[in-house]
Structure 1
Amino acid sequence: MNIDALRYIPLFAELSPEESRCVELGEEIVVPAGEVIARKGDVGTFFDVVLEGEVRITLTHESREVATIVKTSGWFFGEVELVMDVPCLVDVCARTSCRLLRFSKEHFSALLRLCPAVAKEILRTLAVRLRALESFSQQREKLVSLGTMAAGLAHELNNPAAAARRAASELHTVAGRLPSLACRLNKQQLSATQSDAVAHILREMTSRVGLTIALDPLTRNDREAEVLEWLEQHRIADAWKLVSDLVNAGLDRDWLEDVGQRVPQEAIGDVLGWIAGILSLQELTQQVEQSTVRIAELVDAVKAYSYEGRAPLRDIDIHEGLESTLTMLSHKLKGITVQREYDRSLPLIPAYGNELNQVWTNLIDNAIDAVNGKGEVRIHTRREDHQLVVEIHDNGPGIPEDIQPHLFEPFFTTKEIGKGTGLGLIISYRIVALRHGGTIDFESKPGHTMFCIRLPMTRNTAADQAR
């Protein structure tokens, strides 16, 4: 191999005569256009330098291309996988016919050991690529968190929004009936005593709206049957239309008998129709109010979760962030029991709230995945000396002992290819340790896993310098 001809390659430009023999460790190969050189997820076994031609590098996520670049002669690849001992992180394909200088894993190690100038350039490039990849992955983790938040928010908003629309539509119908009901009641020409009795009944009923106990289906069916029977016995027109509103208000046959004693027989239907209309109006108004309150709570949760972008260091209530995260993940909590063991006496702490929320999202989401739709997630907060402690427990199967030492390694994941980035825990570690001067550790055995986060209650000088 002509060593002088390789000096146009930046990697080999500074080779000394003694180091130039290292290049002979490589094997020159030709790759035809369109052939895959490296595939994401495969074991990395080669270090390649492009001598001629063009290669296309594609970064994918869940089978979708998220970034593509084209490189020509002088570009090299494979060092990240060999140095970090991780699977291939990207797909590499020959865009044109390519001539490569390929080093096996063993010869790559020798290249680093025997050629300081080459090793310096490779390691410098490795550091740059890892920083770029980490930055990209952090942004993707944030997008995953936002996607999780958006999915949860859409799911949670759907129920109160649909309830509010339904109640508003029914309100329009009920409000349209009330004037005619009022006219019919006025035509009854009730005495002052009877009018007072009707007013008293109405006040009594409206005070019970929202306070009645929900009936089980069997009891409700029985109650509706006896109310309908009483109404039909008293020849009340369209009796079936009144039954639901009266039963919803907690009324039964005994109450109807009492009304029958206080108003004339010919006025019972109009009195009950008017009362049922008012009760329905108030119940629907209450449903709209409850729905709008729930929507407002969700909006507040989103604001608390996001802290409106990259917020500065400020004093935060750790429980607000935990609750906002649980709200965002609530669509994944069906069938799962969430136990909150909060020490509400804990003080506010200086922190980057939106970054900590990313930590809570990673850890709680992992716990949810671990229990697989049935089990318990427990969140415990407490004080320990001058630190605030947050523990996130789950009763899932536990983390196998053989993979526990690797949990905080970059790109390590136990999830299927494309399902996990392998960066959630390392990003969480850096947020906790480097951004906040805290610690994050875990313990796990079959049936129980616990991640423990310790955060300083006062500003950490070392962490401030790291920022």
Structure 2
Amino acid sequence: MSSTLAPEDLRSLFLFESLSDGQLAKLAAAGHVVAVDAGWLYREGEPATCFYVLLSGAVSLHRRSGGDDLEVGRTRQRGVYSGAWEAYLGEAAPAGYTSSLRVLEPATFFVLPAAKFGHVVREWFPMAVHLLEGLRIGLTEALQLTGQRDRLLALGSLTAGLTHELGNPAAALARTLQQVQEELAALETAVGRLAPGLPTVPAAGTSPVPGTAVRRAEAEDGLLDALEEREVPDADDVAAVLVEHGFGPADLPDDAETVSWFARTVAVRSLVAEAAAASARISALLASAGSYAQLDRAPERWVDVRELIDGAVSMLGAGAGRAVGNSRVVTDYADVPQVLGHTGELTQVWTNLLDNALDALGAAGGTVTVRVRPDRPADGVGEGVCVEVADDGPGVPPEVLPRIFEPFVTTKDVGEGTGLGLDIAWRVVVHRHHGRLAVRSVPGDTVFSVWLPLQPPQDPLDDPDDTTSTED
């Protein structure tokens, strides 16, 4: 049930206390008073249709975080407002509520339709609206830029702690497996002394492993015949193990018990080798994560861009040449000199470019290729390092391509991207490192090219895009 509010009652609210009698009368006519029971008044994301001013009762404000409604404040102060308060932005206003409001006890509100509220604010306070528009756009961009940077810094701190804690057990595991391999070799030697008739187990791979399933099956059948002739127990399992490691009938001892020992020795060797390889992989990932975690601890230093790219690839879920979902990342590195740069910011560039490329491939998958090569002009002027991040996805839409490096431009679905990743990359490459960032794209071939100079300008305030001159 609703009613109206007298203009003099509106003046008692701090939001309206400085308005003229005519303005108060116009607001009183446009709005109405509603009584609301405890519960949700509106939810984040719902169409922003109304501007609410609390007259009595108690409310709590909530923001959605990780799928949960996080309470960010509660009040019973008369005159506080919420809802479609950005309606003065017109078409630029958010279409939905940017928060949720819960009524904690029966409450009353003065309610203005969003369109009418926005119209009177623009009509009465045009200068203030222009100032607020500029402030909102600048603040939103600044928060997005610093927010992403802060998240990376927080990730760096967390990663640094984890890599430190995991580094010691990973190193211990690597040392233990090395010792196991050495002890296994010593054990085989000791067994050979106790049983002089046992043959020496050769290293795996004395025969090439069949490349196709058909050839592999044929190799197992041939080995199975030799095992059955020797009456080896579990011949099928033994044949699979030996073929897997490149052994053929010519490598087998003559009696069944020796063949069984031979196969088990090969299997144990293989298991230990696999564990050692996995341990080395863990150590490599931890090293990449450690480099990634450094971010801006060293403001500027000489860096090898290939190391930073490898760290970004590892943090995205795969080493070079390995799969990320249905896609894979391939690297093609030439020998390149180091460049003087900000480690964390360049890592952010590679992360953004790789993440965009993988997203562009989508569920169908594809290949992302990262190429690094030196750029050495014949006159030696303007030497640098070129990095290309290419994907064979559907490409950037032609209408988006000219604006791809502008802030808030994105080809991702709503809620999946801010449109700031490439803007950040542009700022880092062009403004911070005096380099160049370009893109070319057709279906099946999208390439983002980064050029970084070996010798940045002497004056750190130089802007590579500044074409102004002090000469008359």
Partner of 2:365: 374
Q: 1:295 aligns with which of 282, 285, 305?
A: 282
- 2:378 is aligned to none
Q: 1:76 to 1:229 in 2, by over 3 A?
A: closer
Q: Letter of the 2:338 partner, please give it.
A: P
Give how far 1:314 is off. 2.9
Contact 1:81/1:87 (CA < 8 Å) preserved in 2? no
Match of 1:307 in 2: 294
Q: Is the 8 A contact 2:43 2:100 kept in 1?
A: yes
Alpha-carbon distance in 1 for matches of 2:218, 2:22: 98
Q: Relative to 1, partners in 2 of residues 1:131 and 1:308: Cα closer, same or farther, differing over 3 Å?
A: closer
Aligned equivalents of 1:230, 1:91: Cα separation in 2: 74
Separation in 1 of the partners of 2:248 and 2:232? 16
Equivalent position to 1:99, from 109, 122, 130: 109
Letter in 2 for 1:65: D
Supply the distance in 2 between the matched residues of 1:387 and 1:75 (Cα, whole angstroms): 55
How much has 1:91 moved relative to structure 2? Answer: 2.9
Change (3 A) 1:343 1:33: farther
Q: Would the alpha carbon gap of residues 328 and 426 (structure 1) be closer, same or farther in structure 2, given more than 3 Å must change?
A: same
Alignment of 1:57-96 (within 5 A): 57-61=61-65, 63-66=67-70, 68-70=72-74, 72=77, 73-76=79-82, 78-80=84-86, 83=89, 84-88=92-96, 90-95=98-103, 96=105
1:108 paired residue among 118, 122, 133: 118
- Which residue of structure 2 lines up, in the alignment, with residue 195 of structure 1? none
Counterpart check, 1:361 vs 2:351: yes
Q: 1:392–1:450: 8 Å Cα contact kept in structure 2? A: yes
Q: 1:357 to 1:28 in 2, by over 3 A?
A: farther
* Structure-2 separation of matches of 1:51 and 1:386: 68
Separation (CA, whole Å) in 2 of partners of 1:406 and 1:35: 44
Deviation sequence 1:375-414 (CA, Å, 0-9, x none): 2323344567466554333232234445567766766655
CA deviation after TM superposition for structure 1 residue 371, in Å: 1.5
Q: TM-score under structure 2 normalisation?
A: 0.67
Q: Which runs of 5+ in 2 are unaligned?
A: 164-169, 376-381, 464-472
Alpha-carbon shift at residue 238 of structure 1 (Å): 7.5
Distance 2:110 2:445 in 1: 50
The equivalent position to 2:223 in structure 1, one of 203, 220, 227, is 227
Does the 8 Å CA contact 1:33/1:94 hold for their aligned counterparts? no
2:355 maps to a residue whose letter is D
| Structure 2 counterparts to residues 153-302 of structure 1, below 5 A | 182=192, 185-186=195-196, 202=200, 206=202, 208-209=203-204, 212-215=207-210, 216-233=212-229, 243=239, 246-256=242-252, 276=263, 279-302=266-289
1:430-463 alpha-carbon deviations (Å, 9 max, x no partner): 5556655656554544444344445555377249
The structure, 1 or 2, with the larger RCO (C-alpha pairs under 8 Å, 6+ apart) is: 1
Q: What are the superposed Cα offsets for residues 249-283 of structure 1, whole Å, 9 maximum, x if unpaired?
A: 53433455xx77xxxxxxx5666566556544544
After TM superposition, the score normalised by the length of structure 1 is: 0.67
The counterpart of 1:395, out of the listed 389, 392, 397, is 392
Q: Is 1:30 aligned to residue 34 of structure 2?
A: yes
CA RMSD of aligned residues (A): 5.1
Q: What amino acid is the match of 2:390?
A: H
CA contact (8 A) 1:346 1:388 kept: yes
Give the 3-state SS of the residue equivalent to 1:315 in structure 2: strand
Q: Is the 8 A contact 1:437 1:462 kept in 2?
A: no
Give, in angstroms, the shift of residue 232 of structure 1: 4.5
Residue 379 of structure 2 is matched in structure 1 by none
Asked if the contact 2:232–2:259 (Cα under 8 Å) also holds between the matched residues in 1, the reply is: no
Contact 2:232–2:260 (Cα < 8 Å) also in 1: no
The answer as to whether partners of 1:329 and 1:365 remain within 8 angstroms in 2 is: yes
The letter of the residue matching 1:295 is I
> Which letter maps to 2:110?
L
Partner of 2:331: 340
Which whole-Å CA distance do the structure 2 matches of 1:219 and 1:396 have between them? 35
| Matched AA of 1:307 | Q
1:102 CA displacement = 2.5
Measured in 1, the distance between the counterparts of 2:151 and 2:117 equals 36
Q: 1:13 to 1:106 in 2, by over 3 A?
A: closer
Partners of 1:306 and 1:140 in 2: CA distance: 13
SS of the counterpart of 1:298?
A: helix
Q: Which moved more, 1:420-429 or 1:314-323?
A: 420-429
